Amino acid sequence: MPDGFDWSDKRVIVTGGAGFVGREVCRLLRERGVDDDRLCIPRRRDFDLTDAAQVGRLYREAFRNAKADVVLHLAAEVGGIGANRRSPGRFFFANMAMALNLIEGARLDGLPERGGTFVQVGSICSYPKFTPVPFREEELWNGYPEETNAPYGIAKKAAGEMLAAYGRQYGMRGAYVLPVNLYGPRDNFDPESSHVVPALIRKCVEAKARGDAKIVCWGTGTATREFLYVDDAAAGIVRAAETMREPTPINLGAGSEISIRDLVALIVKATGFRGEIEWDTTKPDGQPRRSLDTSRAASLLGWKASVGLEEGLRRTVAWYVERRQGK
């Protein structure tokens, strides 16, 4: 931890704290001394974060008569290409409304006056469709995002801009991180809404169990992506809260690019599926390339990814197989 930053005396709200990345963030916070009395994880059944009145109630009730010192906003409504195509309006509204309500709610609750920090977790989907590779943070506003996930990406990008504006006008301390495609144990493996890595793992594991002769994958396989293991993402988010005072956009990535075709080959190997791979070229590839320049994270946060893709996939496949078998 940076000198002078003591988590043990901080009260922390983590939206999405029961989710995929949030679980790991909360684990790190507990390791750093945040006890359960100082950690608030709002659940959807208790607080609808798209409703300003309920967000106001969250800030009032999170710590009884005390106030939050740090807000980590990880909650999102998100999915893969198919989910983005089915629900563009909902994805824009939900993600925009949550950020609007939480940032404004933090202001009304006095977070700037207490010197507290608001961390907004953005998305790599915010980058323009044809951003030069590797993506540098300076390119964030230089074009329109890839069409299938533009509503989601624009909402997340606007949230980062809102946080910066609140810093200028109200003195709100903030951090804004942009994780690349995430994966790992406890990811969303629902075939209707999952991202590419869990979707492919489930497809291969189930095809192997049935003895299928082939699997069908979307697109041409030529699009490239970068993948960040969930533990590494959590560490970057916590480091941003510890070190940043202004929401300068910061990429969080693994520093390596892989084609979807090569990714499928790695997952086939990790799962032991032995059938053929068929590519459905009537389905979209999504953004042509994604790979990040992570030098800003190294210089400002002192952070870099530590889990390689093959090792991360091995851990993720093992977790999914054990869960599927009910162990």
Active site (catalytic) residues: 152
Q: Which residue has the tokens 């075939």?
A: 191
Query: Beta-carbon neighbour count of residue 73 at 10 Å?
Result: 22
Report which secondary-structure segment, H or E, holds 196. helix 196-210
Phi, psi of 2 (to 5 degrees): -60, 150
Single out the residue of 58, 46, 35 nearest to residue 106, CA to CA: 58
Number of helices (H), then strands (E), belonging to the chain: the values are 10, 12
Q: Is 98 helix (H, G, I), strand (E, B) or coil?
A: helix
Contact 71, 117 (CB under 8 A): yes
Q: How far are the Cα atoms of 128, 152, 183, 215, 222 from residue 218, in angstroms, in the given order?
A: 22, 21, 18, 10, 11
